[in-house]
Structures are given as C-alpha cells and as structure tokens.
Structure 1
Amino acid sequence: MHAEAVIRAETAPPRPGRRGLGQETRIVELRGQAPLLPRIVAVPGTGAEVVLVGGAAGPLGGDELAVRIEVGAGARLTVRTAAAAVVLPGTGEPARQRVEITVADGGELDWLPEPAVVAAGARFETALHVTLGRATRLLLRETLLLGRAAEPCGDAVSRWDIAAEGRPLLRQVSAYGPGAKPGWRGPAGTAGGTVVATELRFPDIPGTTPRLPSAPGRAVCELAGGGLLTTVMATDALTADRLLRGQPAVSRAVPAPSPSAPPVPLVGSPS
C-alpha cells in the first residue's frame, strides 16, 4: 500500500466577530489516502488542529506511507493521530513511513502522534525530516512500543534529520530489535525497557516550560543549536509519558517475557 497525506496551514485575517484575536491559522490544503486520512478539529484560539484518522489496519510490511506538513509564516498548527498504530509483518519488506515538515518564519508546529507498536516479526523504518525558518517553535514527539504484551519486538529504525535556518540542529538514527547491533537492550540502549519515547522542544526558552533533569529512565540533552532533546525508556507507554512530563512513575508489574526476550527491569527499580 502506498499512501500520502498533505496538510498545509497559512495565516488569514480574523473572521467577523473574532476581532482582537489577531491573525487566524486556516488549513488551505488537506488531503490524504487510507490509512492516512486527515480531519480538521475545531479548537478555540488562533491556531489550527488536524487529526490523522487511520482508515485501514497497519502499517503492514511493504507499505510506504508519507506525511507532508507545511506551516506558513506566522501560522500555528497541531497535528495528532487518533490512535496508536500497530506495525505488522507483511510481504517481508519493511513498513516505511516518511514525515516531511516545513515551518516558515515565525510559524509554530506540534507534531504529536500516538505510539507505534512494532509487533514480533515486523520491520518498521520511520524517517522525520524537518526544515525550520527564523523565529519558529517546534514540539516533536515519537513513541515506539517494542512488541505487544509478552512478545518479542520486531525491528524498528528511527531517523531524525532537523535543520533550523539552514544549519543542522539534530541528526540521529536509533535502531531496536533483532536486526540492531548487539547491546541495544543494555545500559547504553533501552536498559531493558520496551517503550522508547523521544521529545524535542525548540527553542528551549528558560521559564516557559519546567526544565527536567536527567534521571533513571530519562536522558535530557541540550542541543548546541538550541532546543532540548528528551529520551525516556520505560516498560509501558503510561510510564514513558509520565517521565516526559516529569511526573512520578507508577510501579507496574512486568508481564512474563517470552522465551526469546530477556527479563525487563522496572524503570527506577533497584538493581
């Protein structure tokens, strides 16, 4: 299956009856193909929000999915997905997803998809390419669940390539699963966790959001070009979300691992 979704937002003068609110953001192009079906969500304020609704199961092995998001100068846009995606084996080829984001001068974007669950035997390759103009604001989040409950995970490769004002801001590649290099589940990898969540805030302006320190299960890195990269490892998506928000993790029992998966320690538990 090959599918593409396009979302383009630009500013426009306020509509009658909404004076004093400043320029509004309007969606000027919105199209997609199953399973990438974008829908506009009504929200208060001058920003716009779009939700991608899954119109089919998957992605399956061999699928090629693409999302293109363009935010015009001064526009404010939030893009979410309606539910988690479960990546399943298919033709034997990887399921691939490419997200292309462009934010013009003064634009703001929140890209907040729900988790992607990489089932046993599946192969998932995701690539995120972002181009930022001057005085932009960006919030990105990606959550990978490495296998369903009590099963080994498939292979997942995540690539982020982000540039701001023509200069590289972040380039990284992360790989998990049987096809990754040995040690990916060790202390320098997921530390035994089955959920990996990554968040980038740009720019990182002191005082606008609480500055979280690195802690067990959470690594916080200041980027040389500005911005804050936070990566958390956990045993479930709820704990990962709480670690990203700086909330106390809730202790949860770990399901019995499958024979091909080593035991997974609780995040923050004594060794």
Structure 2
Amino acid sequence: MEGFTQTQVSTLAVKDKLLVAGGFQGELICKHLDRPGISFCSRTTYDDNAITNAVEIYVTPSGAVHFTASNNDCGVRDFDMEKFQLSKHFHFLWSVNHTSLSPDGKLLIIVGDNPDIMLVDSDTGKTVMPLHGHLDFSFASAWHPDGVTFATGNQDKTCRIWDVRNLSRSIAVLNGNLGAIRSIRYTSDGKYMAMAEPADFVHVYDVKSGYENEQEIDFFGEISGLSFSPDTESLFIGVW
C-alpha cells in the first residue's frame, strides 16, 4: 500500500468513507475514500511483536472522527483523525486482540491473551470490572446497538453474551463447531448477530429470540472476517 513499502495488511475497517488498515509490523494507513492519496500513515510501535490485531472507527459525541488500534505489544491506542495524532494510549499486561467501544462512548471491551474480559473506562483506561467465564484467549467483541449487552468470542469455541446491568456472569453461551470465535458483528438495528469461526462456519442468531434461533452457514474456506451492510440487508464474509 502507498505510504509504506510492502505492507502486509493484518486488519482493516471502513466507516463513513474512511478506511483504516493495520499491518503486521504495527503500521497504520488511513485513507479517505473520496480523496486522492493516503491521508495519514504511521507506525504504532517498533516493538518486535507489533502486529495490529484490530482497528475500530467511531465518531465522538462532539462529531470528531477517531479510531482505536489494538496491538500485540499490549497497547490500545486512540487516534484523532482531525489532527492525525495519538490522543490516548492504554497499556495492558497481555497482547490485545480486539476492542469495542460502547455506543455511548463510555466503555471499552478489551479482549486478548487472557481468559478474562476487561471492561474499562474509555477516558482513563481504568478497569471497571474483569469478566470471568471464558477458558482461553479471546479474539473478538461487539456491542449490541442498545449499549446494554455485548458479545465476546474466545478460543474455547464459545461466544458469551453479557449484560452491563449484571456482570457477575454471562447471560448466554453460544457454541461454535470446530474453532475459536474470531469475528462478531451485530446488525445496525440489533435484530441479528453473526459470529465466525476461523474456517467453514458462520452462525447468525436472532437476538430477539434470546439467541435461541440460529442459521448456520456452512462452506469450505478460511474466514478473514464478516460484516453486515448498514441497511442490514446483506452479510459479507471474507474468505481466503
């Protein structure tokens, strides 16, 4: 990609005509899709274990565009796209594989090379509560649009659903077939949730049924990620 030589992309996100790609050496490349050229590029870290595991684009209450980057160097970084600069940097004791910001912008789900899920204050990075239940490392997370429930995906082949009003235990446990839950997405209206295994299986749940009703999509191929269209009519699955 332009901006770095031979960048190997490890993750990417697109929102409101902004594309952010992360690389295996900690690279970040930002491009506005309605403008020519690259808008911003940087290295998050020069640590030997620098892979960018996930990026998430969001809009602050004031209307500013930001994104968070989760890295193997145990860091979560928040970037201000108006100023093209780092605005926050939180450090944890283990590699961070994914983060998700709550719809009200107050809480971050932090998942990584630790069985516990960390719910932290998005302004300070301080832990609000560790969540117990998963048995292995986690790779995925997502908030329901209502801001009350959220989901986490783990190498123990389960996705757990949590409710912020009672975090003593998860309210549902959804099982995969063969592998870790590597990607989770909700539709914008909150009616459906999809979760992907590393290969062959994607599961789509009816949220209103309490995640009881499921459609399983079974095919052959390794899965790089999934996403619903903004109008909720389509589900896109990356296969390689």
- Normalised by the length of structure 1, the TM-score is 0.31
**Higher Rg of the two aligned structures:** 1
More strand by share: 2
**Greater relative contact order structure (CA < 8 Å, 6+ sep):** 1
- Normalised by the length of structure 2, the TM-score is 0.34
